[in-house]
Amino acid sequence: MKIELSIEYQIFESDQELEEDLQELLKASKEAVKLSYAPYSKFHVGAALLMSNREIVKGSNQENASFPAGICAERVALSAASSFYPNEKIMAVAISYHNSTDDSSTENILSPCGICRQSLLEATQRQQAHIKVILSNPQGKIIYLKNADDLLPLAFSSDHF
Ligand code: THU
């Protein structure tokens, strides 16, 4: 038996193609980039979550001289959201970056690492509602997905226990 998996996403050339609240969210993720602590990789990432109470929760990557102790922007934001607003749902996440060593990479649209995808999946399952995803590059190009789960097909989850 052969099974094919496919995901659907949209590419936007500018934030003007997003709904207004998602434009705001993307802006917040760009602000979060400035709060990144990334002296080792010099790759500064910002994530912003739109909560069901309309609050925006920001996170940025925080590195450490002991490299594995560092944490990605997405998981900083997810942990903050769960701590500050445990009863609210996450409606959407926006992710932005600035690479302070390599300006030539600004065309790449950032896509979350595997661990962050796993964390987003758990957040979706926990709240039993989809999380929209906005991925961006510094030039303003965007990938938009309706559901964060689509980033991690055939995922491991608590269903496997
Ligand atoms: N990083 C994030 O914050 N989010 C991602 O989705 C990818 C990677 C961070 C981790 C590390 O501080 C730096 O970017 C380089 O990998």
Provide the residue-wise pLDDT of the chain in tens; the chain has 161 residues.
Answer: 999 999 999 999 999 999 999 999 999 999 999 999 999 999 999 999 999 999 999 999 999 999 999 999 999 999 999 999 999 999 999 999 999 997 666 789 999 999 999 999 999 999 999 999 999 999 999 999 999 999 999 999 888 88
pLDDT of residue 104: 67
Q: Where are the domains of the chain?
A: 10-153
Contact between 96 and 138 under an 8 Å Cβ cutoff? The reply is yes
pLDDT of residue 4: 94
The ligand 1 atom at the shortest distance from the C-alpha of residue 61 is 3
CA angle 107, 113, 115 (to 5 degrees): 170
The answer to whether domain 10-153 has CATH 3.20.20.70 is: no
> Tokens for 118?
């796993």
Distance 73 CA to ligand 1 centre (A): 7
Selecting among 74, 88, 107, 122, the annotated active-site residue is: 74
Q: Any catalytic annotation for residue 55?
A: no
